[in-house]
Amino acid sequence: MSARFAGRVVLVAGSGDGICRSTAVAFAREGATVMVAGPDQEELEGTVKQIRAEGGEADLVAADIASGRSADSAHMVAATVERFGSVDIAFNNATVSGPTSNLAEIEEQDWAETLAANLTGVWMAMKHELVHMESQGSGVIVNTACNMAQTGRLVGQSAYAASKAALSTLTRTAAHEYIGKGIRINAISPGPAHEPGTSFADGATPEQVAETVLWLCSSEASFVVGHDLVLDKKTV
């Protein structure tokens, strides 16, 4: 295992599989202690099992940031600090696709739930992460937006696109607010991850997304602040 993140505690929040699992495993392989948070206990256990099988240190906490509930975000941060002593890095990967409808056909409840998951949920996670990071005088946060929010070509998913575009702006604004306090904040904007059984042949794999997250959280990216890094080999 590499030691690039040795001594660092990483909170990976969103789910226990896909991009979250790949990122959690990648951090552990580079020496980090990892807490994984999500709503599915079985998925979380699978991620922790994989990390421990490779000799890494990890634990899990049941918390659903996509719910938008303050209690879930507060619980996952408190549990990480209680278990491992700090939260040095947080990766917030809440993604709910929402309704597939043209704008005028979207139900108000579907609109509200999509924004609650992708925008309010991540804001709430950041709120609790930042309180802790500010108390320790340092930290790194990476949020997951979406490259389609940049292009506006996500036909039939305007609620999702709007929530992710707002998250991108929230990330950049927060970055300016907190860099003076020793906390770096950025976002990534991947497209649909190319996973076995999907048709997204041009999308980055979860492992490639994880590599990008690790770079943004590393000392090599120490001067990268307030960016939304688009993972898209196509031109806009």
- Residues serving a catalytic function are 160
The label of the residue with tokens 């960016």 reads 227
Number of H helices, E strands in the chain: 8, 7
Residue 219's CB is within 10 A of a number of other CB atoms, namely 7
Q: Contact, 161 vs 154, CB < 8 A?
A: yes
Structure tokens at 46: 């699978």
Contacting residues for 123 by C-beta, under 8 A, at least 6 apart: 170
Q: Contact, 154 vs 195, CB < 8 A?
A: no
Which residues pair with residue 157 across a beta bridge? 101
For residue 122, CA distances in Å to 90, 169, 235 come to: 11, 12, 28
